Structure 1
Amino acid sequence: MKPLKIVVLDRDTLPDRPFQLDFPHELITYGSTSAAETAARIAGAEIIVTNKVQIDAAAIAANPQLKLIAVTATGVNNVDVAAAKAAGVAVCNIRAYGNESVAEHAFMLMITLMRNLPAYQRDVAAGLWQQSPFFCHFGAPMRDLNGKTLAVFGKGNIGETLAGYARAFHMNVVFGEHKHAETVRAGYVSFDEALQTADVVSLHCPLTEQTKNMIGEAELKRMKAGAVLINCGRGGLVDEEALVAALKYGQIGGAGFDVLTQEPPRDGNPLLKARLPNLIVTPHMAWASQEAMNRLFDILLDNINGFVAGKPQNLV
């Protein structure tokens, strides 16, 4: 069997483990790859491994020898899947590797904001506890999760895992229907009901034309005054300018985001400029626990080995 040329475009997003492949191959890896570098680097490749590097129709057309695009993530927005299918190129992704990692991160953000931990950290750092006439310092209001309602948008593996964690804390969990849906499916509540009744709203849905800015100024105004908004799904699901205004004017109680519209935010972002005690931003790392990263890599190797062996899996 002739060695297959494999090009890994963003190796630094993967664990530092060897590629254990069951067939003759030539492996070329790049820590990261810019858009300007992509065409030259994938020239002649039969298998491309990419996390977020764009593989568009032109790149696919320029490489008739290409057989497989292995995406090292669940989302495949960075690949022109239609063009790949038309050219007979398989595309596979990684599924269900980070359910616990992302759900735990979302839950961490939720409980941290409900109990206003950042505000108390700020008060302690400012010396307010030392100045208190009592043994304790009362600052921002704290709320229990017990008895509160969590509305989850996205009833996939991550959403279901988060729901299990919330129920263990005796929360009432509802799943929100699509925005503008004409009917409400069994097991869901309407979009508006989810927003208006929830103490916490957590987003775990993909970014599409239908979900882009699904939470904007109007939706934020319909949420409870003390509600917390969590986004560990995709940047772009929420109007970031509207969110900053809602936080500043007390329309909602807090927000925790692991994703932004542009990543990395080289041109800045409204959420990074805000510096509010009831806003937490983490750098798109909810998925990246050690356990999840290793599961991802194991599935990636299985995807590639299975495809070459004639037993493809996780095709999109």
Structure 2
Amino acid sequence: MTNVGHRLTPIERKEIISRAASGESLTAIGLHFGVTRQAVRAVLRANGVAGRRTGKLTDAQRNEVVSRFVGGASLSRIAAEFGVTAPSVRGLLLRRGVEIQSVSHGLRHDAFDSFEPDTCYWLGFLFADGCVSYRAGHLPQISVGLAARDREHLVALRNYLGCQNSISPTSPTHGSCQFSVRSQRLADRLIELGRYQQTLDERLVASRDFWRGVVDGDGSLGIYQRPAPSTASLAQLRVVGRRHLLESFVAFLECEGIVGLSVRPHQSIFSVGTTCGPAERIAKLLYEDAGTALARKAEIAARMITRQCGRA
């Protein structure tokens, strides 16, 4: 085991928070990242996230949990109300003999098998903002968390996957909501295409939909006022992530005639970004006449495209 401060990157800390929110045990998370349970707990505390609670409910509360579920409340809502995890609520209900209908009914386990535009988009989004986690005795879990303002994007992902898995209520501590599914085939496909490897499938590298998903997941678009006394504004695009992912993004842009960008260290991760005309050209390349996109970033991209077209 190793000390958390010397090993974990910001991306890994983000994944730790996501895994803990989805119900994975601190021990399993620590084993995955090669750190101690205490180190995982320290990351959660530093980010205002409560650790997983077990065995905290009284007999009266357990009875109330059963009553609330039979009355129609979802696992995630009950978990939020009682300060425990959804998996612990599920375990209690199963021990009480309560039948739980699978919310994954209809889940498209082949959803990532093709390279259609929507498929590539969601792959890019999950490569940037999602994680695949493993826990003994359970199917692999694909999970993603977004700020409350982007909750509808999780609804869109859920609709694409064809299931009815719940989206958690907004956390009062870090303001995000979580969505996850369990599927061996979906997890294997993400790994196979390069989610945690040093190379990406070439079909993804060549897809503007994939890169729009990456930008929606871990990028930023903006039009900012230049410092005074200038009255002009400045378009900007920036993406953060792992080096190999961003190097592939730069290679994609070069194939599209957008050159001069480089991957730079940013704290313990990497970033690539640009401003003005190049940023507007990238926005046009990724978002113009696009299908699926995060609404608020698509709106900014549209403004950037208008600026670019106005100077053409």
Q: TM-score range by the shorter chain?
A: under 0.3
Larger radius of gyration: 1
TM-score when scaled to structure 1?
0.24
Structure of greater relative contact order (alpha carbons < 8 Å, 6+ residues apart): 1
Q: Which has the higher helix share?
A: 2
